[in-house]
Amino acid sequence: LRAVGQSVDATSCAADCSALSSVAVAPSYCSTGVAADAVLSVVKLPSSGRPGVAGTGSSCAHDQNGRPLWLVFALLKPINRLESRSLAENVASLRSVVLHEIIHGLGFSHSFFNYARDSEGRRRHLIALSRVYDADGEE
């Protein structure tokens, strides 16, 4: 594995996966590929310092149509409590976080919807900036 902060050749295959997502990319990925539709990497990064943020989900490599080929789930939640729990308890407590973040990696995020295109290649403008008001009328 590559250490966080270690230099990466920016021209290498899947450079974003190494440089931005701290993922180890085997040379065979770029030369022979993998027998799968997508790759999922799980990394443990330092805690974000933001209460309630247990992880992030993204993608770091895409095909010619922008579909994600390499998904990254980054666990931010401290793991010191995992040791004191059973496997069943850990699975139950992390299942929804993992599924939620993998869905982000598959493209369900505002940045992907913002660039959605129709069958003619035109932008669909699925996201619009709008004013939002609270129930009491405050902006």
Q: What pLDDT is attached to residue 27? A: 82
How many Å is the maximal CA-CA distance in the chain?
A: 59
**pLDDT computed for residue 139 by the predictor:** 67
Each residue's pLDDT, cut to its tens digit, for the chain (139 residues) gives 333 444 445 456 788 888 888 888 888 888 888 899 999 999 988 876 777 888 899 999 888 877 889 999 998 887 777 788 899 998 888 899 999 999 999 988 877 777 778 888 888 888 777 888 888 877 6
Cα(62)–Cα(42) distance, integer angstroms: 17
pLDDT over 70 for what percent of the chain?
A: 89
**What is the three-class DSSP state of 64?**
coil
Residue 112 CB burial class (10 angstroms; 0-12, 13-18, ≥19): middle
pLDDT score recorded for residue 6? 43
Other Cβ atoms within 10 Å of 111 Cβ, number: 10
CA distance 123 to 114: 8
pLDDT score of 7: 46
Helix runs in the chain, H state only: 15-21, 27-31, 87-105, 110-114
Q: What is the mean pLDDT of the chain?
A: 82
pLDDT at 48: 66
pTM (2 decimals)?
0.70
Vertex 46, ends 91 and 19: CA angle to 5°? Answer: 105
pLDDT score for 11: 57
